[in-house]
Structure 1
Amino acid sequence: MTETQPRSAAGASTGSSSSGGRPALVWWRPDTWPMRVLAPLGYWASTRLIMIMMVFQTHEDSTGEVNRLYQSWAHILQGGSYPIGDTTWQYPPGAAGVMLAPLAIPGVNYVLGFIVVTLLADLVVMAALLRYGTRPERSLAGAWVWLLMLPLMLFIPYARYDVIVTFFAVLALLWLQGRPWLGGGMAALGAMIKVWPAFAVFGAPRGRSLWQVVVGFVAAAGSLVAIAALLFKGSFGFLDEQGNRGVEYESLPGSALLVAHHFGYQGRIEYRFGSLEVVGPYVDEIGKAMLVASVVGFCWLLLWRLRARTFSAATPADAALAVVLVFITTSRVISPQYLIWVAGIGAVCLSFKSTTQRPIVGILVLATAMTSVEFPLFFQSLINGSAGFQALLLARNVLLLVATVWSCVRLWRSTVPGRRHRHAAA
């Protein structure tokens, strides 16, 4: 007994074991990683290899957007200008960094460089969710959501740059409490690439940390805008092209018009402003109505922000998911890669045991699987007028609408005191 006591004491002093006799988890020492960490890593490696193979083996022109658009934009940006006058360039100034990043990968062509950058962003998101999920009062369910939802989209995550954008939103949400200024800065960098990561700070709790979030956000956004204006011409030309967009066929009203075509609606699908849009009667009025719906949705979210009083650790992520869903369902455009956004935010939500969004994330997993059936698997059939696949697209959008309303309701009930609570406090 006298020999074992010093050994135990020595083990405790070096940190080689944790309570219960298990080795302490040290992130830079893989031999200390438990199976609950090793299993997700193995799943990530195998699924991502298959997804990358799909990029090159699928019969669809999966690398077309990267090869034709991203690469051509990168060459223009190398000359010191944004793609001025290009109707397909509809992104904020920070997107220049994403387009140029693949050129910094040595020894590979642009497409391979883009995949390397996207793969690294995916890996960092997964590692961050794993590390965060092993903490007390946290859960690894979030890491599994990210690991499972991306493969449901087949090759899409590695053929678009939305994983890179989601990287900034996920890190912003994870850092929002412990490092609020850094969380605000990451949200701003993401917003300067594709606007929506700004919603990561919408649910930040009140108090001193909120001011740190705001300072970090403003400082990062201002710095990036100044750098973009200094290095490139036409930093904000994207605003004109974004405003010209119509009703895209995958949006909520667009899918309804496709189904209405089988009941006599006279409309067609055309390629305009970088996407396939519905052209026909009432489309302009529907587009304006969707803008009104977006304004109404964000007015409700502002009301929630003013009325919310009870903030848990999960509230910023829960609020971000609700805001992004409102943004998606009221938009005139919905693309398959938008599901990457909700995969990342939903993963952060489920990293907290106190989240209110667990059933909403379940709906989004189903919506993601349905999206892959519509695109890329049976895209041509849908475009050619298949009633079944068009009905599936509409059903997917109805699911997204249900998820949006339910997410907002659960967010409100968990943070805004009810009448009874207010009377009791009085």
Structure 2
Amino acid sequence: MGIDAAGMDAAPVPLPAPRGGSAATTLRRIAASPLSLWIGFLIVHLVIGGFGLLQHTGFGDVFWVYKPWAQLAAQGTEIVGLNADWVYPFGAIVPIMLPLLFGEDNYLGGWLTMVMLLNAAAFAVLIVGREPRRLVAAWWWLGFLLLLGPISLGRLDAVSGSLAIIGLLWLTFHERVAVVTLTIATWIKVWPAAIIVAAVIAMKTRWRIVVIGAVTSLVIAAVPLIFGGGMHVFSFITTQTDRGIQIEAPVATFWMWQAAFHVPDAVVYYDQDLLTFQVTGQGTVAAGSLMNPLLALTVLVVALIGIRSLRRGTPYTRILPELSLALVTAFIAFNKVGSPQYIIWLAAPVVIGLVYQGRGFKTPAILVLTIAALTQVIYPYLYSGLLVPLPSMVAVLTARNLMYFVVLGWTIGALWRKRHRDEAAGDLLPAHAWPFRSAPDAHPVPVGEAR
């Protein structure tokens, strides 16, 4: 098997035999069965979609925001990102328009079908070859979606999340296609740029990644520019910088507690332009203006720690997932928006971490599952408790927000430790990447045995 992006050639090794008694062996066989995996996939998506539809919660943005954008664009009245400013990059118009193929009256059903198909593609890439660590990552992802709830399917982040998982899994098999996929995901929602930055730092072919990403971005941006989009194409940058502090953001926690205890001037209000609930109080304007510089500084520091780890001989199977998760978590922890769908961003780095490191990535995997569960408590079912706000719900929000910094601390600590190739000898290089062809006898290869 050739690992072209890592500059390695590796010989196949046999898979370890399962340990434990007959019951444990049977359970492993059931968990590894393609039928069990796909039944689990369908059940999770039907439960999330069905429960959200029955409760009429979690999919409001799809019906009340995305659908009108799609209808206006289809009529030629207003195409956001082309002849009007937009909070998203222009590429997001494609997944917003696609559900119209199912009919305007079935836009929500079309959206859920589209997301499920994208998730199915990512799931297929993940489970091909039934390598044990990939199976663990697959079941983890299903558990993550279930714990996060309707928001895991009901936002644009679900589209970019699937593409990010696919891109990361393809990265060491077909680098060009992987980087194009990650760049497309970035032009739908900006956050996958953090994964591209991590890949540039971790991989030996970093300049090729930069060139492919830049060319792909130019091609995507050229489409609206050719049709007269002008500065509307880049309006997602300026629109985000001018917004206030959203109630779910970590920085909002201080004022949310003040609002919960009725401190004067601390108030939750609805922003009619951005369609979000924000908090205001003494100092929120100053805090909001500091968040973007603080976010940029944090990203720079985390990137430098990743470079330091690279220079100290840490293999990319450690740097790529840990740095990706650190950068993505920083994007959330120091963001003044903090929408619940941002939790979707955490899935792709954890999936690739479990694929490469197995048990070595258990701690952040558990932490992210906890964050997902706490987020579903907050949104959509008990969200009204934050709007009052109730102290009990602010306490849940505070716990969830603190978890971001726990994850960030773990990843920075993991990157900071001095670890050379022999310490990552148990990391596995995947042997398969559907739909790309691999050797008939290909097996996952330990990093320590790669030449």
Q: Same fold (TM over 0.5)?
A: yes
1:271 aligns with 2:266: no
- Residue from 42, 47, 52 that aligns with 1:45: 42
After TM superposition, the structure 1 = structure 2 runs for residues 156-235 of structure 1, keeping only pairs within 5 Å, are 156-204=151-199, 209-231=205-227, 233=229, 234-235=232-233
Does structure 1 residue 284 correspond to structure 2 residue 291? no
Cα displacement (A) at 1:210:
2.0
Contact 2:306 2:319 in 1 (8 A): no
Q: Tell me the SS of whatever aligns to 2:37.
A: helix
Output one character per residue of 1:309-353: Cα deviation in whole Å (capped at 9) or x when no partner: 322324322211111001100000111111111123212211123
Q: 2:382 aligns with which of 373, 378, 382?
A: 378
- Checking the alignment, whether the CA contact within 8 Å between 1:294 and 1:327 is kept in structure 2 is yes
Measured in 2, the distance between the counterparts of 1:225 and 1:245 equals 24
Where does structure 1 lack aligned partners over 5 or more consecutive residues?
Answer: 1-17, 21-31, 418-426
More moved, 176-185 vs 318-327: 176-185
Q: CA–CA distance in 2 between the matches of 1:146 and 1:119?
A: 13
> How big is the alpha-carbon RMSD for the aligned residues of Structure 1 and Structure 2?
2.8
Distance 1:370 1:224 in 2: 36
Q: Shift of the alpha carbon at 1:34?
A: 8.0
Quick check: 2:255–2:280 contact (8 Å CA) kept in 1?
A: no
2:82/2:228 contact within 8 Å kept: no
Whole-Å Cα distance in 2 between the matches of residues 383 and 34 of structure 1? 42
List per-residue Cα deviations over 1:124-165 (Å, max 9, x = no partner): 122222126x348x4422111211011112222222121111
> In the TM superposition, what whole-angstrom CA distance separates every residue of 1:21-71 from its partner, at most 9, and x where no partner exists?
xxxxxxxxxxx99844332222111121111212321043x4321112111
1:94 aligns with 2:91: yes
Give the 5 Å matches for 1:4-403: 35-60=32-57, 62-78=58-74, 79=76, 81-82=79-80, 89-105=86-102, 109-131=106-128, 134-135=130-131, 138-204=133-199, 209-231=205-227, 233=229, 234-261=232-259, 262=261, 264=263, 266-272=265-271, 273-307=274-308, 308-309=310-311, 310-353=314-357, 356-403=360-407
2:198 is paired with a residue whose SS is coil
**How far did residue 86 of structure 1 move?**
7.0
In structure 2, the CA distance between the partners of 1:361 and 1:265, relative to structure 1 (3 Å rule), is farther
Contact 2:267 2:280 in 1 (8 A): yes
Q: 1:209 to 1:246 in 2, by over 3 A?
A: same
Q: State, as a whole percentage, how many aligned pairs show the same letter.
A: 24
Q: Distance in 2 between matches of 1:228 and 1:357?
A: 41
The answer to whether the Cα contact below 8 Å between 1:321 and 1:346 also exists between their aligned partners in 2 is yes
Structure 1 CA distance, aligned partners of 2:334 and 2:205?
31
Are residues 270 and 49 of structure 1, via their aligned partners in 2, closer, same or farther at CA, if it must alter by over 3 Å?
A: same
C-alpha deviations, 1:3-26, integer Å up to 9, x for none?
Answer: xxxxxxxxxxxxxxx999xxxxxx
> How far apart, in 2, do the equivalents of 1:180 and 1:83 lie?
29
Give the unaligned 5+ runs of structure 2. Answer: 1-13, 17-28, 422-451
Deviation of 1:415 (Å): 5.7
8 Å CA contact 1:183, 1:216 repeated in 2: no
Q: Which residue of 2 aligns with 1:11?
A: none
- Could you say if the C-alpha distance between residues 213 and 85 of structure 1 is closer, same or farther in structure 2, counting changes exceeding 3 Å? closer
Q: Aligned AA for 2:266?
A: G
C-alpha distance 75-322 of structure 1, shift in aligned 2 (>3 A): same
What secondary structure does 1:402 align onto? Answer: helix
State the SS of the aligned residue for 2:316.
Answer: coil
Q: Distance in 1 between matches of 2:245 and 2:110?
A: 33
Greater shift, 47-56 or 99-108, is seen at 99-108
Describe the shift of the 1:178–1:211 C-alpha distance in structure 2 as closer, same or farther (beyond 3 A).
farther
Distance 1:288 1:416, change over 3 A: farther
Whole-Å separation in 1 of the counterparts to 2:376 and 2:84: 29
Between structure 1 and structure 2, the one with the greater Rg is: 1
2:351, 2:376 → 1: CA distance? Answer: 19
Check the 8 A contact 1:203/1:320 in 2, yes or no. yes
Shift of the 285–355 alpha-carbon distance from structure 1 to 2, 3 Å rule, reads farther
Task: Using the TM superposition, name which of 148-157 and 97-106 deviates more.
Answer: 97-106
Contact persistence 1:81–1:232 (CA under 8 A): no
* 1: CA distance, partners of 2:180 / 2:162: 13
Per chain length, whose mean CA-contact separation is higher, i.e. which structure has more relative contact order (CA < 8 Å, sep 6+)?
Answer: 2
Counterpart position of 2:411: 407
**Distance in 2 separating the partners of 1:221 and 1:415:** 35
Deviation at 1:97, TM superposition (A): 0.9
Distance 2:191 2:258 in 1: 31
The secondary structure found in structure 1 opposite 2:245 is coil
Structure 1 Cα separation of the partners of residues 341 and 135 of structure 2: 24
AA aligned opposite 1:70:
Y
1:232/1:346 CA distance change after superposition, 3 Å: farther
Cα pair distance change 1:33/1:52, threshold 3 Å: same
Q: Following the alignment from structure 2 to structure 1, what is the Cα–Cα distance between the partners of residues 185 and 213?
A: 10
Contact 2:367–2:403 under 8 Å retained in 1: yes
1:254 Cα deviation after fit: 1.0
Offset of residue 119 of structure 1: 0.8
